[in-house]
């Protein structure tokens, strides 16, 4: 079996997919990192391993971190939440000072952050990777109370995926699973479509008379032809996807009747309703003045230092990093470069040249994975995708059935390898 250059790039272990760095002697300094998720934990580990002179404090409000990646596999019954939940003990054992507190304020002029218990933590350089918040009310009627009946399952620390999984398991055979999907930008562009696939996989085996209706606020989505090929092949008659021009945009929800209402007033009722609402940078980033009117944080593309507040590096989903997607892989790539820039700045050197990597894998069915790969460099005002550097898995029609099975199987294995390697890098 031969593997394409793109697939090989997709399979590169995360630890190797770091920016090119000059690992010269770094200056010493106190680096405080807010958020122990994909960006923050990667930054802490990378800083600890590569720049021993740095004093690293990681501030994370939760005792454990449950990943969004592989959360959709919990819906298919393939994973448990325990298997995608990690603690911070090993990061602490490596010499990262881990503080489990909520940061309530950032004082860029005084170079310190305030914790919920009133403690002030001083820093020389601050890294923030606090993730996202949901825009409650952006879909009329969709607030925190509504999300208990119509789960989002999009921020594990806010709502465990088990709520949606339980509703799915309790749904009668013949019931309809309704999804509302937001417009760009949002966390994990292929995530809703992997979710459609994993729910369909479950329905096919456990509730074959059921249907899934996905109502989308956009007309196109990441890896669309690949997902749609797979739904046709694996889940015929189960998945119906409607884009914005087919009245797919959900404007309001009615939790009491389990209905969602579209732009042109159609009410769609579900036995289970999964609403993924519009999003924005997490509150602490907005409160610190890092976000612009879009609700997301502009950064200098060559360094990931905030474009609005000096001395703060912003990573991950909270940033405006398009065309890079909001993904865990991307957050980890931002993290490594930002730490290298911080080490350089503390040593009085110019920042290293930047190259950023991303691969988004999606599980679509048993032994069936697909991916999209991108390599990015800084342009004058934003990141730019390096032409011809990445790509997307080939479509079904371009391969023989035997070759297709092998290819999809390999990509499912690469996905598992990526997940194991990135979580090991963050928490191992
Ligand atoms: C269903 C789904 C599937 C996904 N699948 C993939 C995938 O296959 N591959 C992939 O690359 N990406 C995937 N993603 C996207 C990925 O989860 C995010 O892009 C990634 O988590 C972003 O990292 P982050 O560091 O920006 O935020 P997070 O990982 O969310 O980390 C933010 C952390 O900051 C903490 N925090 C926030 N505010 C404070 C505060 N004030 N004080 C202290 N701590 C604070 C939070 O508790 C949290 O732990 C998926 C997402 C979803 C929803």
* pLDDT tens figures, 226-251: 999 999 999 999 999 999 999 999 99
Residues 6+ apart with CB under 8 A from 276: 152, 153, 154, 179, 180, 181, 182, 186, 192
| Residues pairing with 311 in the sheet | none
Per-residue pLDDT at 390: 87
- pLDDT, tens only, 194-214: 999 999 999 999 999 999 999
- pLDDT, tens only, 39-84: 999 999 999 999 999 999 999 999 999 999 999 999 999 999 999 9
- In the reported structure, the alpha carbon of residue 218 is separated from the centroid of ligand 1 by a whole-number distance in angstroms of 23
Question: Residue range 7-34: average pLDDT?
Answer: 57
9 pLDDT more than 50: no
Same domain assignment for residues 164 and 273:
yes
Same domain assignment for residues 224 and 175:
yes
Same domain assignment for residues 266 and 313:
no
Q: Is the CB of 75 under 6 A from ligand 1?
A: no
CA distance 102 to 66: 17
Per-residue pLDDT at 242: 98
Per-residue pLDDT at 397: 84
Of the three residues 211, 244, 279, the one that is the final residue of a domain is: 279
Per-residue pLDDT at 396: 87
218 pLDDT more than 60: yes
Where helices occur in 28-158 by DSSP H, the ranges are: 38-50, 72-75, 89-93, 146-149
Q: Is the CB of 34 under 6 A from ligand 1?
A: yes
Same domain assignment for residues 262 and 295:
no
Assess contact for 25 and 347: CB atoms under 8 A.
Answer: yes
Same domain assignment for residues 24 and 98:
yes
313: left (phi over 0), alpha (psi -120 to 50) or beta: beta
pTM for the model: 0.94
* Domain count of the fold of the chain: 2
Q: Is the CB of 327 under 6 A from ligand 1?
A: yes
Q: Is the CB of 103 under 6 A from ligand 1?
A: yes
- pLDDT, tens only, 127-154: 999 999 999 999 999 999 999 999 999 9
Per-residue pLDDT at 41: 98
- pLDDT, tens only, 273-317: 999 999 999 999 999 999 999 999 999 999 999 999 999 999 999
378 pLDDT more than 90: yes
| Of 31, 62, 66, residue with least CA distance to 45 | 31
Pick from 328, 371, 418, 421 the residue to mutate for probing ligand 1's pocket: most ligand atoms within 8 Å of its CB. 328
Same domain assignment for residues 39 and 104:
yes
| Of 376, 195, 400, 182, residue with least CA distance to 279 | 182
Same domain assignment for residues 306 and 387:
yes
Nearest CA to ligand 1 atom 52: 68
Same domain assignment for residues 318 and 267:
no
10 pLDDT more than 70: no
Per-residue pLDDT at 26: 55
Question: Residue range 358-366: average pLDDT?
Answer: 97
Portion of the chain with pLDDT greater than 70, in percent = 94
CATH number where 319 lies: 3.50.50.60
Higher local confidence (pLDDT), 53 or 389: 53
319 pLDDT more than 60: yes
- pLDDT, tens only, 79-107: 999 999 999 999 999 999 999 999 999 99
For residue 50, the number of C-alpha atoms closer than 13 Å in the C-beta half-sphere is 25
169 pLDDT more than 80: yes
Same domain assignment for residues 110 and 186:
no
Q: Is the CB of 190 under 6 A from ligand 1?
A: no
Strands 297-298 and 239-242: unpaired
Per-residue pLDDT at 302: 97
Per-residue pLDDT at 18: 43
Q: Is the CB of 182 under 6 A from ligand 1?
A: no
Same domain assignment for residues 247 and 349:
no
Per-residue pLDDT at 184: 98
Per-residue pLDDT at 107: 98
Same domain assignment for residues 48 and 107:
yes
Pick from 63, 68, 126 the residue to mutate for probing ligand 1's pocket: most ligand atoms within 8 Å of its CB. 68
12 pLDDT more than 50: no
- State the chain's mean pLDDT as an integer: 94
Of the three residues 279, 312, 333, the one that is the final residue of a domain is: 279
- Tell me the residue range of the domain where 376 lies: 5-131+282-427
| Residues pairing with 259 in the sheet | 254, 269
CA distance 148 to 164: 9
Of the three residues 250, 279, 308, the one that is the final residue of a domain is: 279
Assess contact for 90 and 428: CB atoms under 8 A.
Answer: yes
For the ranges 104-118, 198-212, 316-330, 395-409, the lowest mean pLDDT is seen at: 395-409
Assess contact for 55 and 31: CB atoms under 8 A.
Answer: yes
Same domain assignment for residues 271 and 316:
no
Per-residue pLDDT at 14: 42
Question: Residue range 346-350: average pLDDT?
Answer: 95
């Amino acid at each position: 079996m031969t593997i394409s250059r793109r697939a090989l790039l997709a399979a590169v272990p995360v630890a190797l997919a770091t920016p090119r760095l000059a690992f010269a002697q770094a200056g010493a300094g106190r680096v405080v990192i807010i958020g122990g998720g994909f960006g923050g934990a990667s930054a802490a580990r990378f800083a600890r391993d590569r720049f021993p002179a740095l004093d690293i404090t990681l501030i994370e409000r939760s005792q454990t971190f449950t990943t969004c990646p592989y959360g959709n596999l919990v819906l298919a019954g393939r994973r448990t939440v325990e298997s995608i939940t990690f603690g911070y003990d090993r990061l602490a054992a490596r010499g990262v000072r881990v503080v489990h507190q909520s940061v309530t304020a950032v004082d860029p002029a005084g170079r310190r952050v305030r914790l919920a218990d009133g403690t002030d933590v001083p820093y020389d350089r601050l890294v923030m990777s606090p993730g996202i918040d949901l825009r409650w009310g952006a879909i009329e009627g969709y607030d925190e109370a509504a999300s208990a009946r119509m789960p989002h399952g999009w921020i594990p620390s806010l709502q465990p995926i088990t709520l949606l999984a339980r509703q799915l398991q309790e749904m009668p055979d013949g019931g309809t699973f309704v999804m509302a999907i937001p417009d760009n930008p949002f966390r994990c562009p292929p995530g809703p479509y992997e979710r459609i696939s994993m729910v369909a996989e479950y329905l096919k085996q456990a509730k074959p008379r059921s249907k899934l209706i996905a109502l989308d606020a956009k007309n196109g989505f990441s890896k669309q032809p690949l997902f749609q090929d797979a739904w046709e092949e694996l889940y015929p008659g189960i998945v119906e996807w409607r884009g914005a021009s087919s009245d797919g945009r959900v404007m309001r929800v009615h939790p009491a009747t389990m209905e969602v209402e579209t732009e042109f007033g159609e009410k769609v009722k579900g036995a289970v309703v999964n609403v993924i609402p519009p999003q924005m940078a997490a509150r602490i980033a907005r409160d610190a003045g890092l976000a612009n009117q879009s609700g997301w944080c502009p950064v200098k593309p060559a360094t990931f230092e905030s474009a609005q507040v000096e001395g703060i590096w912003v990573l991950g989903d909270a940033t405006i990093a398009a065309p890079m997607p909001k993904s865990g892989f991307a957050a980890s790539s931002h993290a490594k470069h930002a730490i290298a820039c911080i080490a350089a700045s503390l040593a009085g050197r110019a920042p290293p040249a930047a190259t950023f990597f991303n691969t988004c894998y999606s599980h679509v069915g048993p032994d069936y994975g697909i991916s999209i790969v991108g390599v990015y460099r800084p342009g004058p005002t934003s990141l730019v995708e390096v032409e011809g550097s990445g790509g997307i898995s080939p479509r079904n029609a371009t391969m023989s059935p035997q070759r297709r099975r092998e290819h999809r199987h390999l990509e499912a294995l690469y996905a598992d390898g990526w997940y194991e390697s990135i979580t090991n890098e963050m928490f191992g």
